[in-house]
Structure 1
Amino acid sequence: MANLVRRGVFAIRARPLFPDVSARSFASSSYLSNPAKAPALADVMPDGGPTFDAKQREFRDKLIAAQKQKEQQEREAARARDKQDGKERKGPLSSLIYGTQEGKELDRDIERSFSQVLARGKYVHSIVFHEVKPEKVDDYVELVGHWYPKIASVPEHKVHLVGSWRTEVGDCDTFVHIWEYQRYHGYHDSLHTIHSLPEFADYDHKLKPMLYSKRTSLMQEFSFWPTTPPRQLGGVFELRSYTLHPGRLLEWETHWRTGLKARREVMEGVGAWFVQIGDLNTVHHLWQFANLEERRARREQSWGVEGWGDTVHKTVPLIQTMKSRILVPMPWSPVG
C-alpha cells in the first residue's frame, strides 16, 4: 500500500491532511480497460454523495496507514544506522538539544523541510488540451483510449498518466490530459522514445483530422500540494485556471500555502500546478466532487473554515482572469 502514496505537503511542524509519501504506483485496471463511448455529465449519479464520501474516507485512511508504515520504517532504519555507526553527538549543547525528544523531532522536521523544498523540482507535468470536432468525439475516444494506456503502461517510456477528462461545462468537447515526467530530462526522453515508435506515425495521422486545436503547457506542482495518487472516487471534477499578473506567483503561493489546509478540510483536491513553459503566469487547481450540488455545498462550507476568507481576500487582487471547467473522467483515467 505504501507505493500508492506520495510526498509531504505542508511546511515545518504542519500536519498535512494528505501525509508525506515517497512514491506512487500508476498501475490501474480501470485505465487499462477498453474505452467506452465518451462519458458525459449525465452519467454521473446525482445522488452519489454517500458513495463518494465512503470511497473518499477509504482512500484517505489508506494514505494515513501508508504514512504511518513509512514513518515506522524510517525510524527503524535510523536506529539501525545509529547502531552501525556507533556515533553519538558530544558536548553539553548537543546533549541538551539532541538528547531530548523535542530535539529529535526538531531534527526530523528540519530534514523534512528540506525534502519538501526539493520535491518541487522532482516532477514536471504537462497539461494538454485537445479541442475535438463534435462529429469526431467517439472516434477520438476510441483512438486515444487505446493509445494513452498503452504508452503509460510501459516503464521505458518514462511517463505516467495522471488523468484524462472531457469538459462538460466550459469548453465543450475539449479533452484535458495531465501527464507526469521525471523532471525535464524525463519529458524530453519520453518524447524521443514515443515519437520513435513505429506505430506513432499512424496514431498521429489519425488524430490530427479530429482536432480543431491542441494546446500544451509544462507545469510544476506546488511543493505544498502534491498530485494525488491514482484513485477511483467517481463524481465530477472542476479545473480552475487563474492567469496572474506577471511577477505575482510567489505571493500567490505564499497565501495559498496558508489557505489550502482550510479548503481541503471540506473539499477533495487532486492537485495544483503553475505553468513554466506555455501559458505563463497560469495556475491550475483540480478538485473532485460527488456531483454539482455537492460542489456548491462544499464551496459554501469552506467559507466557514478559519483562514479561507483571508486567503481569498489576499489572492483576488493578484488575478487577471479566471476560468472554471467541469470535467468528467475518461474510462482509462487513473484518477477518476
Structure 2
Amino acid sequence: VSRLRSCCNVTVCSSFATGPRQQDGTLYEFRTYNLKPSKMSEFLENIKKNIHLRTAHSELVGFWSVEFGGILNKVVHIWKYDNFAHRTAVRKALVKDKEWQEQFLIPNLAHIDKQEIEITYLVPWCKIERPAKEGVYELATFQMKPGGPALWGDAFKRAVHTHVNRGYTKLVGVFHTEYGALNRVHVLWWHESADSRAAGRHESHEDPRVVAAVRESVNYLESQQNILLIPTSFSPLK
C-alpha cells in the first residue's frame, strides 16, 4: 500500500505527466519507412515532385533520410495534427483525393518494404524550435522503464536541459509516445555538422554537470538508439 501511495503522489506532482499536454490536443505522427535498396532515389524523387499533394491536407514538420545509426534506405517524417479528429478528417480526405492516390500514394507503395507509425505528444516543457540555418539532425530514441513519465520524467527533463544549457547541441523537440511502444521518448537534436556533433558529445562526456544529470536519468533507461538524419530538399526543417 505504501508503495502504491508513493507512486500516486509522484503522479500528481510530476510536471512531465500533467499540465499543457492534456489541454493541448496537438499530436505529432512519426512515420518511418524502410525502402527497397534499389528504389531509394526513385522514392525520394517522386516525393519531392508530389509532396504538395500531401501537404495540401496537413502540415509536414520534417522529412529526413537516415545517414547512419540504424537500418539504411530508411526515411523518417513527422506530421502535425490539431487532434485525433483532425487526423481522421485528413485521412478521409486523402481517400477521396484521386490525384494524391495516383501520383503520390500508389507509385510510392511499390518502393516501401515496411512502415512504422507512432503517435506522440510534445512534452509540456518544450516546443518545436526551428534552427536558424541548415545542418544535420540526430534522433535519439530512449526506451524508458515501465511506469511512465511520473516515474522517470523529471530526471529525463534535467538530463535534456543540462545538455541544452551547457550549449553542446540545439534542441528541436522532445516527443513522448501515446501510440506505439510506450515509455518511449524521441529527442530531436540539430547539429551544424556530424563533426560538430562529435566534438560536442566528446566535450559533454567530460562535463561534471552533464555526467551527473545523465547518471540520474539512466537509472530509468532500458535502451537507446541514435540515428543521424539528413533533411531532404523539401523538408521544412532543414
TM-score, normalised to structure 1, is: 0.60
Does 1:286 pair with 2:188? yes
| Structure 1 match to 2:108 | 207
Q: Per the alignment, in what secondary structure is the counterpart of residue 79 of structure 2? A: strand
How do 1:53-202 and structure 2 match up within 5 A?
117-119=19-21, 121-152=24-55, 154=56, 157=57, 159-169=58-68, 170-202=70-102
C-alpha distance in 1 between matches for 2:204 and 2:121:
26
Change (3 A) 1:149 1:302: farther
How far did residue 183 of structure 1 move? Answer: 1.7
Q: Which moved more, 1:273-282 or 1:175-184?
A: 273-282
Contact (CA 8 Å) 2:54, 2:100: kept in 1 or not?
Answer: no
How far did residue 142 of structure 1 move? Answer: 1.6
Q: Per the alignment, in what secondary structure is the counterpart of residue 147 of structure 2? A: coil
| Structure 2 match to 1:19 | none
More helix by share: 1
| Structure 2 match to 1:301 | 203
How far did residue 281 of structure 1 move? Answer: 2.1
More strand by share: 2
C-alpha distance in 1 between matches for 2:26 and 2:184:
18
How far did residue 303 of structure 1 move? Answer: 4.5
Contact (CA 8 Å) 1:171, 1:325: kept in 2 or not?
Answer: no
Does 1:222 pair with 2:123? yes
How far did residue 302 of structure 1 move? Answer: 3.3
What letter matches 1:199 in structure 2? E
Change (3 A) 1:220 1:295: same
C-alpha distance in 2 between matches for 1:246 and 1:147:
41
Q: Per the alignment, in what secondary structure is the counterpart of residue 110 of structure 2? A: helix
C-alpha distance in 2 between matches for 1:185 and 1:289:
35
Change (3 A) 1:299 1:251: farther
How far did residue 151 of structure 1 move? Answer: 2.3
What is the root-mean-square deviation in Å for CA atoms of aligned residues? 2.1
C-alpha distance in 1 between matches for 2:34 and 2:111:
9
**How many pairs are equivalent?**
217
Contact (CA 8 Å) 2:121, 2:177: kept in 1 or not?
Answer: yes
C-alpha distance in 2 between matches for 1:179 and 1:306:
37
Contact (CA 8 Å) 1:130, 1:211: kept in 2 or not?
Answer: yes
C-alpha distance in 2 between matches for 1:317 and 1:304:
20
Q: Per the alignment, in what secondary structure is the counterpart of residue 128 of structure 1? A: strand
Unaligned residue ranges in structure 2 (runs of 5+): 1-14
Q: Select 1:324's aligned residue among 214, 226, 233.
A: 226
Unaligned residue ranges in structure 1 (runs of 5+): 1-112
C-alpha distance in 2 between matches for 1:198 and 1:177:
22
Contact (CA 8 Å) 1:127, 1:219: kept in 2 or not?
Answer: yes
How far did residue 249 of structure 1 move? Answer: 2.8
C-alpha distance in 1 between matches for 2:207 and 2:151:
22
How far did residue 221 of structure 1 move? Answer: 0.7
How far did residue 150 of structure 1 move? Answer: 3.4
C-alpha distance in 1 between matches for 2:236 and 2:161:
25
TM-score, normalised to structure 2, is: 0.83
Q: Select 1:313's aligned residue among 203, 210, 215.
A: 215
